[in-house]
Structure 1
Amino acid sequence: MTALPPLTIPDSELEERFVRSSGPGGQNVNKVASAVELRFDVRASASLPEAVRDRLLARRDRRMTEDGVLVIQAQRFRTQERNREDARERLQALIEACRVAPKKRIATKPTKGSQERRLGSKRERAQVKRERASRRWEREP
């Protein structure tokens, strides 16, 4: 299988907001906006192939808004620059995962042996239940 060439997204299609992080930061945590909120409009993106866009929009992902905007929040690190890199890496990984089309499932029939084993176990279970119902349980005083 050949590797796909990397897909690049221009900075003009990305929107970054910097907010105060709830993570590590020591005394700086209340002064520096080190967390990054990266927004990428999947529906309006001209750099994504149609198939990748459709797979991204079809994903059941809580980071995707109803308008088709993907929101990635990064606050794992103490510096704004490292959080920016982290958000972009996570976006790239998500897009790369959607670039490969899932394999179609080929429907198969159960084997004769598996059908017989299944029906045999059903018969055994039915027999156990029939025996329970027909027994007269006597109480001992």
Structure 2
Amino acid sequence: MADDNALLVGRGTLIPGRELSEAFIRAGGPGGQNVNKVATAVQLRFAAAASSVLTDDVKRRLLKLAGSRATKEGEIVIEASRFRVLERNRDDARQRLAALVEAALVPPPPPRKKTRPSRGAVERRLKEKRGRSQVKRMRGTIGD
């Protein structure tokens, strides 16, 4: 059974429509009578903490990436009011959520291991420094 409201994210991850909810609200800002009468802004909510398709690590990264868009209950709220048309705002909100989830799906790189230079590398560096020092010393004035 295909879910019409489902959101395809990245490579094969599908967020079911039951985990998303949309509310259509009036947009603020300029626009005159149209803004005051028509609810074209979209408020998209995704219950990330209760999601059945995301792992715990992905949920944790997603809520961290969401920042102030995440609520204490683990819900992500995205508001879109860039466009005058409801459908474009709806698509914009869904694309922004998909990009956020896709970024959270990428695991962080492993921490860098500190390494020490080998003895040979240290000796080569010091030899090079002595050589440069000698070249610069030879540039000086010749004393009597």
TM superposition score normalised by structure 1:
0.69
| Contact 1:24/1:77 (<8 A) preserved | no
Could you give the per-residue CA deviations for residues 79-109 of structure 1, whole angstroms, max 9, x where no partner exists?
Answer: 1111010000000000000111010121324
Residue 67 (structure 2) pairs with residue 65 (structure 1): no
Could you give the per-residue CA deviations for residues 7-42 of structure 1, whole angstroms, max 9, x where no partner exists?
Answer: 111111111111110145443111000001111111
> SS of the residue aligned with 1:39?
strand
Q: In structure 2, how many angstroms separate the alpha carbons of the residues matched to 1:32 and 1:110? A: 65
**AA of the residue aligned to 1:89:** Q
| Contact 1:40/1:70 (<8 A) preserved | yes
Aligned length: 110
Could you give the per-residue CA deviations for residues 34-64 of structure 1, whole angstroms, max 9, x where no partner exists?
Answer: 0011111111111223331122134460101
Structure 1 outlier segments of 4+, above 6 Å = none
Partner of 1:99: 105
**AA of the residue aligned to 1:72:** I
| Contact 1:24/1:78 (<8 A) preserved | no
39, 43, 51: which is aligned to 1:37?
43
**AA of the residue aligned to 2:40:** S
Q: In structure 1, how many angstroms separate the alpha carbons of the residues matched to 2:14 and 2:31? A: 32
Q: Percent identity?
A: 49
**Unaligned residue ranges in structure 1 (runs of 5+):** 114-141
Structure 1 stretch displaced more, 49-58 or 38-47: 49-58
TM superposition score normalised by structure 2:
0.68
Q: In structure 1, how many angstroms separate the alpha carbons of the residues matched to 2:64 and 2:96? A: 18
